[in-house]
Structure 1
Amino acid sequence: MVKSLIALLSTTAASVAIAADPTATTASAKEIILNQKTVAELALSQGYQTKQVNLQYQTYRLAVAQVLSTYDWNVAAATGYQYDKSVSLLNIGNAELDNKLQQYQTTISLQKPFTSGTLLGVELSRLSQQADLDPASPFTAPDNQTADLAGITLEQSLWGNFFGNADRATVNAANYNYDAQSILRANDLENVVLDAIRQYWTTYTAQENFKEAITSRDRYKKLVDAVKRKTSLGYSNPGDLPQAQAEFETREQAVKTASTDYLNNLTTLVTQLNLDPNADIKFMPTTLLPPVPKLPPKNVEDLRAIRSQKLKVSAAKESLDASKSLSYPTLNLVGKAYTSGWGENSRDSYSQLTSGDKPKYYIGLRFAYHFGSDVQNEDVVNKKINKDLEETRLSLQTLQATDAQTQAERRVQETYAVALSAEKQKSFREKAAQELNRSYAQGRTDISILITAMNNFVAAEVAYIQAVGNYHIALNEWASTRDELIPDTSSENR
């Protein structure tokens, strides 16, 4: 595309354009044909903005995982050796006694919190001791002993997070927030597609403006030549030739400006679609003007933005429920059951442990309450304000979504009417320029009138192309307000 356009320039203009794009003369460049459909597909399949959106939404998964990590299994193990020659009950009253204890202790525990407000735990421990007591010690004990302990613990919330009310509400809030964010992914991708389509039409318009600048310059070159002939024959009016020559220089400037504008827009489009910078880009846009489609009303409640905001409202309500539940004092039911064993060796200790002859049980209540800063009540107030804020946003977004659809439809109707009018205007401008050109050749029209008509014709041609692009952009924007540019996908729902 760049090569074919630059070939139309004069030697001076061509050197400027090639300097702006050194790859324009690459003969083996890959050809890429773009239209509105392929631009949308390329933006979604390989554009960096699409990759950025997808990666951004992947980061939202961590928040849910962090909440659920509270209910992970927790296993802990500790083992160690202790050498004890300190003063103890074994040598109290006679510090000169030389008692030595060597102990090996191993403990393994497993805990699992549940969203029912329950904490379940299992614990196993073994203590092996080798004693070297002073013969003068009044205490006697076997040289080797092993004690085993196994137990299960259960803790249940009774007040403050009553049977897991706060836990479940916190998990639900995290899931609602994640789902709300995931729904909006398609909307962000729609914005990526719309940006690419806008850039496509901007670049195409810049290309056509460049072509028209070249064509206009050639027209004025012919006009200058014609005026020179009339001047040599004495038929031209005073000032005709300088006016024509000045306008020709204006066209020369317009060519250089349009060339730079087109190349800059083309570079932006290539980057946006992640295309090969050396590719030969060709545009195949549709210049047809399909009539404004008749679409049934779209229920705003079904729009992704509204569904997302409803989930945010639900998340805020769950967070408020969790805050209220946690504002009460903590009262937990605690139960423990252990069995133990003892022996001069590990086998005897384990046998007694498994027999259950030496049990230990505990049941009770554990109470805790923090006070002084009133942070619990402030947190409840904060969560209620946040809930009211999300509900207000929902009401506002519902109204804005209705307005956006109405305004987008009006924009489509307006751009369609403007495009039809621009098509007629281009035809009239062309006819006027042709008639005035013949009239000037016959000496019946002032050259300034002809120049104005020619300039108006060039502007009308560019305006028509811009109007067609605006209409197609408006159609896509209307589809976007109805969530129909990119349909819902199963990945939005977990």
Structure 2
Amino acid sequence: MVKKIILLLCATSTAMAQTTPVAAASVVTLSQKKVAELALQQGYRTKEVNLQYQQYKLPFAETLAKYDWLLGVTTGYELDKQAQLLSSQTLDPRNKIERYNTTLTLSKPFTTGTLATIELNRLSLNADYDTALTVQPPDNQTLDRAGIVLEQAILGNFFGVADRGTVNAAEENYKASEILRANDLENVVLESIRQFWTAYIAQENFKEAVSARDRYKKLVDTVRRKTSLGYSNPGDLPQAQAELETREQTVKSTSTEYLAAVENLLTSLALDPKSEVKFEMSTMLPAMPSLPPVKTEDLRAIRSQKLKVSAAEESLSASKSLAYPTLNVVGKAYTTGVAEKSEDSYSELTGGSRPDYYVGLRFAYNFGSDIQNERIVYNKLNRDLEQTRLQRQLVEVIDSNTQAERKAQAAYSIAQSAEKQKEFRERAVTELQRSYAQGRTDINNLIIALNSSFTAEVQYITAVGNYHIALNEWAASRDELIPDEQPSENGK
């Protein structure tokens, strides 16, 4: 009984599965241009590149943060009953002093080597003294103090030489990385285009494999008919059947490669991997373009490297300035007010009747590790390294552009030759099929011709794809695959 129920459930589930409609896969039409657009708009690699380059802004922001405004507020309460020397007040344990102290400071360093600080302070005092004292101090007092402090570097970091060098180096390094972002996006687009052509070539190879299998099926039927009539040579039928099995294997392998290539393409474009892909292709082979010479100095790689050289020079200048001892001029200007009432103290403060001025020098020098000279040596080596890279890249970009153009020209010639070769192979198959049907050609010659024709079809499709890829690589070497954004007339 249990077995019958299980069989019934299995049959019911099978019937339901057969009657349940399957959602049709969405169809995605892809061309080379659309693949490039999708790669830039929503591709995973594009998002990775953009996020990576956004992280490069942090070092520049951290450098600028050293010159932020700094607001500080401290406030507190103090109860003082401690003993004091030379004071009769400390003999009575009833003596106590309560202090309320609040200080507000606002400071900012400037890239001129200047540190400016504004300070406001209020000290409120509430005291209980022994009433037997002959001289009775006030129980409540308020002391207000306000002033400004200016400190200017005149030796090490002379008037901000090191500060400006550090900021300029950070800014130029950030700009250099931003310029290279377009190059990395070009590489993403190139990779997407290569995947597009890989998928398209895999599709055409699969179609050619199916077409070749159908041809061999017809050949097997022809040989079997000739064998039944006694017109075929010994071994012709098994040989044709063996080649048919080879074509069956090729269909399976090319089908697997095609599906894998399409899935990789859809994944890189952030599309549904279950989508059905239709390739929008033109059978015409575009002519080789004639492009004017490109200015090497205008290429992004060179502009970026020049900024890196400039940043290295700024860092070297900063390290040389910081190698000197610190000698700063310090100026202070304060005004104070004191009274039993806080409003009276504030009025005295704003009246400026109790000024306090100070002018002096602050000197500091650390020694022992020779770190100053080591920083100079390091930055000199870094500058020389960036200059050497610039000289190398000036030559390499010229070579890269020349080689990319040469590769495109060769790919165009190969594609033209492959097209002619395909036509010749197809003509040879047609003639040998007619000859074999008439009994004037050995089957080996026909099999060789069929296989060569299949290979020629595959080579032609591959040559066309290689030509399109070479054209895009040539455009990328000229910074034309993803051009720089041009500012509009209104500056936006």
2:264 corresponds to: 268
Q: CA deviation at 1:490?
A: 5.1
Contact 1:227 1:236 in 2 (8 A): yes
1:13 corresponds to: none
Q: Which of 238, 243, 247 does residue 247 from structure 1 map onto? A: 243
1:373 corresponds to: 369
TM superposition score normalised by structure 2? 0.93
Residues 245-394 of structure 1 aligned to structure 2 (within 5 Å): 245-394=241-390
Which amino acid is the alignment partner of residue 50 of structure 2? N
Find the residue that maps to 2:24 and give its secondary structure: coil
1:69 corresponds to: 65
Q: CA deviation at 1:31?
A: 1.9
Find the residue that maps to 1:294 and give its secondary structure: coil
1:162 corresponds to: 158
Q: CA deviation at 1:143?
A: 0.7
Residues 70-469 of structure 1 aligned to structure 2 (within 5 Å): 70-89=66-85, 91=87, 95-137=91-133, 140-469=136-465
Find the residue that maps to 1:32 and give its secondary structure: strand
Which amino acid is the alignment partner of residue 460 of structure 1? A
Q: CA deviation at 1:233?
A: 1.1
Find the residue that maps to 2:401 and give its secondary structure: helix
Contact 1:180 1:308 in 2 (8 A): yes
Contact 1:127 1:148 in 2 (8 A): yes
Q: CA deviation at 1:206?
A: 0.4
Q: CA deviation at 1:136?
A: 4.6
Find the residue that maps to 1:184 and give its secondary structure: helix
Q: CA deviation at 1:326?
A: 0.5
Q: Which of 52, 55, 62 does residue 59 from structure 1 map onto? A: 55
Find the residue that maps to 2:104 and give its secondary structure: strand
Distance in 2 separating the partners of 1:94 and 1:298:
89
Q: CA deviation at 1:179?
A: 0.6
1:10 corresponds to: none
Q: What does the per-residue CA deviation read over 1:236-275, in whole Å, with 9 as the maximum and x for residues that have no partner? A: 1111111111110000100000000000000000001111
Q: What does the per-residue CA deviation read over 1:394-436, in whole Å, with 9 as the maximum and x for residues that have no partner? A: 0001111000011001101100110000000000000001111
1:47 corresponds to: 43
Q: CA deviation at 1:95?
A: 4.1
Identity of aligned residues (%): 64
Q: CA deviation at 1:277?
A: 2.2
Structure 1 stretches (4+) deviating beyond 6 angstroms? none
Structure 1 residues 61 and 94: alpha-carbon distance in aligned structure 2, compared to 1, 3 A threshold: closer
Which amino acid is the alignment partner of residue 348 of structure 1? D
After superposition, the CA RMSD in angstroms is 1.7
Find the residue that maps to 1:115 and give its secondary structure: coil
Find the residue that maps to 2:445 and give its secondary structure: helix
Q: CA deviation at 1:336?
A: 0.4
Q: What does the per-residue CA deviation read over 1:276-314, in whole Å, with 9 as the maximum and x for residues that have no partner? A: 223221001223222211111111111000000000000
Distance in 1 separating the partners of 2:182 and 2:86:
75
Distance in 1 separating the partners of 2:157 and 2:376:
14
1:475 corresponds to: 471
Distance in 2 separating the partners of 1:140 and 1:111:
40
Q: CA deviation at 1:348?
A: 1.5
Distance in 2 separating the partners of 1:96 and 1:142:
17
Find the residue that maps to 2:170 and give its secondary structure: helix
Contact 2:70 2:107 in 1 (8 A): yes
Contact 2:82 2:90 in 1 (8 A): no
Which amino acid is the alignment partner of residue 338 of structure 1? Y
Contact 1:91 1:99 in 2 (8 A): no
Q: What does the per-residue CA deviation read over 1:162-182, in whole Å, with 9 as the maximum and x for residues that have no partner? A: 000011111111110011010
Distance in 1 separating the partners of 2:199 and 2:135:
98
Q: What does the per-residue CA deviation read over 1:19-43, in whole Å, with 9 as the maximum and x for residues that have no partner? A: xxxxxx9663322211111111111
Contact 1:90 1:99 in 2 (8 A): no
Find the residue that maps to 2:282 and give its secondary structure: coil
Structure 1 residues 223 and 350: alpha-carbon distance in aligned structure 2, compared to 1, 3 A threshold: same
Q: CA deviation at 1:364?
A: 0.3
Contact 2:26 2:276 in 1 (8 A): yes
Q: CA deviation at 1:118?
A: 0.5
Contact 1:194 1:477 in 2 (8 A): yes
Contact 1:147 1:343 in 2 (8 A): yes
Q: What does the per-residue CA deviation read over 1:344-388, in whole Å, with 9 as the maximum and x for residues that have no partner? A: 110111111111111111000000001000000000000000000
TM superposition score normalised by structure 1? 0.92
Q: Which of 24, 30, 38 does residue 26 from structure 2 map onto? A: 30
Q: Unaligned stretches of 5+ in structure 2?
A: 1-20
